[in-house]
Amino acid sequence: MKFSGWPEKGELVVGEIDEIADFGVFVDLDEYEDKRGLVHVSEVASGWIKNIRDHVSVGERVVAKVLDVDESSQQIDLSIKDVNDHQRSDKIQEWKNERKADNWMTISFGEDVSDEQYTRVAEALYSAFGSMYDGFEQAAIHGEEALEDTDLDEGEIEAIVETARENVSVPYVTVTGYVDLESPEADGVDDVKAALEAAEGNGEVPDEVELEVTYVGAPEYRIRVRAPDYKTAEDELEESADRARRSITAVGGTGSFHRERETEDE
């Protein structure tokens, strides 16, 4: 998506160098419609510049910092030297992500999506998530629930969620813990089985979470949780262990949770 307005002072922008002169470099801004900025020779690189072409070339994509914007004279002053490696890397990744999201918008609404609909949907995602990419990512993780508070209609939400879940690679983390479950009752095996089913959530685990309970060696069982972030993963792990403990203690058994696997002494 290209913005129709103007960049703000201090903003980092991505652009392609389309002309080089002795006094500076002209940059066609990728994120703004019909906007072109100038990097004065003194802002191309640190130190004395003998030949500007030793530092930049036509067709090169650069990240620049906006020094000043004068809408009346249609002028945008930029600096390449004021952008450090970390900022450059982060901005390029952000730009690449938005290009992906732009493609996902086409997948969601078709090649012939109207400018009006595209802009409205894009603005809704920017308003709610800060970027189109983050909107699609949250839709992939949380489904329609992530878009409930936006101004998008039901059909648009369904289209975004379907596209997101087919195309977005969501970062996940995995955490592991262990529960010891014992029951002194004659039907103790059934009591432990019920506690394990409780640990698995009885079908109530959130869609974005994968939870698996496996046998290690009586009385120890492993709980492995895969979730979009550590907080969610840790919360679900603790809740799973709590469900198992509550289930087994309710029938007179015992249950305990620990993070490392217990091994017998040699």
Residue range 223-239, pLDDT digits in tens: 999 988 888 889 999 99
Residue pair 60/17 in contact by the 8 Å Cβ criterion:
yes
Strand-by-strand arrangement of the 220-227 sheet: 210-217, 220-227, 173-182, 254-258
Nearest 5°: the CA angle 210, 211, 217 is: 145
Residue with tokens 């969610």: 232
**Domains of the chain (ranges, CATH numbers):** 12-80 (2.40.50.140), 86-167 (1.10.150), 173-258 (3.30.70.1130)
Which of 30, 26, 24, 28 has its CA nearest to residue 2?
30
Tens-digit pLDDT string for the chain (266 aa) = 677 789 999 999 999 999 999 999 999 999 998 999 999 999 999 988 999 999 999 999 999 999 999 999 999 999 999 999 999 999 999 999 999 999 999 999 999 999 899 999 999 999 999 999 999 999 988 889 899 999 999 999 999 999 998 998 877 888 999 999 998 887 788 999 999 999 998 777 888 889 999 988 878 999 999 988 888 889 999 999 999 999 999 989 999 999 876 544 43
Determine the pLDDT at residue 172. Answer: 83
Q: Could you give the CA distance from residue 199 to residue 193 in angstroms, rounded to a whole number?
A: 10
Residue range 126-167, pLDDT digits in tens: 999 999 999 999 998 888 989 999 999 999 999 999 999 899
Determine the pLDDT at residue 179. Answer: 92
The verdict on pTM exceeding 0.85 is no
